[in-house]
């Protein structure tokens, strides 16, 4: 029988509302529960509420696996199979995408990304890390990859008492992999690149940007050129900017790999460059902004607000009337309504009249769960400058 954990009335209410996380302060009793164990969750009145992965150290003590029942034996395999089948519907044949997205696939704290014949996984809690060998066995059996790599270097693992590490779990995984995304060839560095190698959550937004890009394009915070390479075929010229010299080198290499000759990659601070371009009277037909998270905690929200407003105000100033601004925020603590308020304030200070063409979010292989706002982190607005 699985160990038992009793939650407070507040914790019970949270579970019944559908949220999968129960915090340390909402645990009433948990005696001699092994780290990472699958536990039976009980309410203060003795009612069985479901099953969860238990963490002995994290503020998130319980990650719900099932509500109202004990999951059947072999549930990990069943859910991984279901997640893979859903991706075959969402993006049939896509060589680079997320196969498993944690709570969005009822597999809390598990990430599985595919890059061609290779898989990269993250087990971000005691619950999934304890089952890492089982997960690798399931993936090997279902997908027959040439290799499986663990990118368990996110800092969140430290909160679980787990070490940060990167290592080979099965087969072989090279330092560099070439994959296609929407017909564009990228070189992926699964061992060292951002996240697990690519920003897969922007895959659908990269394709969307082709619909709006034209003329002279500025791609700020370009990383490896995800947006720049996708829109180059529709643009006269693309200026791709990133503060990292390594990122700029990757943009140039990827442009050459795809025989795109109208991309100029520049190693600059985007904030400084936007001000300089405005001062010089430079104008663009399309501006794309995809910065890193400015607010990684609640304490950083006020500073992040100012940063997002600054870059979007400057972008609107250098955008020609009739042009589009594609602007993103991956800060969970900046909610969609907040981001829209920031953009409205930026437009007012820029003296621009702006319409909202689209509101978008992370790619569909990164599911957003209703009632779980933490799963909705990437906001993407397409704006048109009317005047």
Q: So which residues are the catalytic ones?
A: 330
Secondary structure (3-state) at 139:
helix
CA angle, 250 then 256 then 262, to 5°? 100
Q: Would you put residue 323 in left (φ > 0), alpha (ψ -120 to 50) or beta?
A: beta
| Helix, strand, or coil (residue 48) | strand
Question: Which DSSP string do the residues of 269-336 spell out, in sequence order?
Answer: -HHHHHHHHHHTT--EEEEEE-PPPS-SSGGGHHHHHHHHHHHHHHHHHHEEEEEEEEEEE--TTS-H
| The two structure tokens encoding residue 18 | 């559908």
Whole-number Å distance between alpha carbons of 123 and 266: 36
The token duo for 179 is 């994959």
Residue 233 and residue 255 in contact, taking contact as beta carbons nearer than 8 Å = no
310/287 Cα distance (integer angstroms): 14
Q: Which two tokens stand for residue 253?
A: 């290499």
Alpha-carbon span 148 to 137, nearest angstrom: 10
- Residue 272, both tokens: 């400084």
DSSP per residue, 87-127:
HHHHSTT-SEEEEEEGGGGT-TTEEEEEETTEEEEEE-SHH
């Amino acid at each position: 029988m699985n160990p038992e954990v009793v939650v407070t009335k507040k914790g019970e209410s949270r579970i019944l509302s559908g949220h999968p996380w129960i915090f340390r302060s909402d645990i009433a009793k948990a005696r001699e529960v092994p780290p990472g164990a699958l536990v039976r969750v009980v309410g203060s009145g003795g009612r069985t509420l479901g099953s969860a992965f238990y963490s002995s150290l994290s503020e998130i003590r319980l990650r719900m696996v099932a509500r109202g029942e004990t999951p059947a034996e072999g549930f990990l395999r069943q859910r991984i199979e279901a997640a893979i089948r859903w991706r075959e519907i969402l993006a049939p044949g896509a060589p680079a995408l997320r196969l498993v997205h944690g709570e969005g696939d009822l597999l809390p704290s598990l990430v599985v990304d595919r890059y061609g014949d290779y898989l990269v996984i993250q087990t971000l809690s005691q619950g999934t890390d304890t089952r890492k060998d089982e997960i690798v066995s399931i993936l090997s059996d279902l997908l027959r990859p040439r290799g499986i790599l663990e990118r368990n270097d996110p800092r969140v693992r430290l909160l679980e008492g787990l070490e940060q590490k990167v290592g080979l779990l099965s087969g072989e995984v090279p330092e560099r992999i070439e994959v296609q995304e929407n017909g564009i060839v990228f070189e992926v560095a699964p061992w060292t690149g951002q996240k697990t190698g690519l920003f897969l959550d922007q895959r659908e937004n990269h394709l969307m940007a082709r619909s709006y890009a034209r003329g002279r394009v500025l791609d700020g915070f370009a990383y490896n050129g995800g947006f720049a390479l996708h829109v180059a075929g529709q643009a006269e010229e693309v200026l791709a900017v990133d503060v990292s010299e390594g990122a700029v080198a990757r943009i140039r290499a990827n442009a050459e790999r795809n025989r795109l000759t109208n991309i100029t990659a520049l190693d600059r601070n985007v904030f400084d460059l936007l001000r300089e371009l405005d001062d010089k009277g430079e104008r663009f037909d399309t501006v794309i902004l995809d910065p890193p998270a400015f607010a990684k905690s609640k304490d950083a929200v006020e500073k992040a607000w100012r940063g997002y407003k600054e870059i979007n105000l400057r972008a609107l100033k250098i955008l020609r009337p009739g042009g589009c601004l594609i602007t993103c925020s991956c800060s969970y603590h900046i909610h969609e309504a907040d981001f829209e308020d920031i953009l409205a304030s930026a437009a007012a200070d820029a003296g621009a009249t702006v319409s909202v063409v689209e509101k978008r979010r992370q790619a569909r292989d990164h599911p957003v769960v209703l009632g779980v706002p933490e799963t909705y982190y990437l906001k993407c607005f397409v704006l048109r400058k009317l005047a």
